[in-house]
Amino acid sequence: GQSLEQPSEVTAVEGAIVQINCTYQTSGFYGLSWYQQHDGGAPTFLSYNGLDGLEETGRFSSFLSRSDSYGYLLLQELQMKDSASYFCAAPSGNTPLVFGKGTRLSVIA
């Protein structure tokens, strides 16, 4: 099976940088994805890491270390609209995606 652990809540100031960590236990690993979900909205894909290292997409970056079973999502130049829940997720066996419980990010002025 697979489980993914991430902090439940994070608060950060507008314009700052925030890092959301995700540790996983896996019986087979095919990479780590990150999704964003605004209240009342659908999860939307942000980033994927299949190999170790950093992937950058605009203000968002994601990092993976397979040897440490660890990844993180980095959000730079935070904006109020970044207030949302962020989920790490990974395939597990025959399950397309197993999700972490999500990290609720609050961006304050």
Partner 1 sequence: KAGVTQTPRYLIKTRGQQVTLSCSPISGHRSVSWYQQTPGQGLQFLFEYFSETQRNKGNFPGRFSGRQFSNSRSEMNVSTLELGDSALYLCASSLVGGPGVQETQYFGPGTRLLVL
Is residue 93 close enough to count as binding partner 1 by CB under 8 A? yes
- Minimum Å gap between C-beta 52 and partner 1 is 15
Under rule CB under 8 A, residue 106 binds partner 1: no
> What radius of gyration do the chain's Cα atoms show?
13
Residue 44 bridge partners (DSSP): 36
Query: How far, in Å, CA of 82 to CA of 60, rounded?
Result: 10
Write the interaction track for partner 1 spanning residues 55-84; mark x where CB under 8 A is met and - where it is not: ------------------------------
94 binds partner 1, rule: CB under 8 A: yes
∠ Cα 70 72 73 (to 5°): 160
Q: With respect to partner 1, which residue has the nearer C-beta, 6 or 61?
A: 6
Smallest gap from Cβ 13 to partner 1, in A, equals 27
Among 11, 25, 41, 77, binds partner 1 (CB under 8 A): 41
Specify the residue, 38 or 59, whose C-beta has the smaller distance to partner 1: 38
How does DSSP classify residue 51? Answer: S
**Residues whose CB falls within 8 Å of the CB of residue 20, separated by 6 or more in sequence, listed in order:** 6, 7, 10, 72, 73, 74, 75, 86, 88, 103, 105
Task: Choose which of 10, 23, 48, 69 interacts with partner 1 (CB under 8 A).
Answer: 48
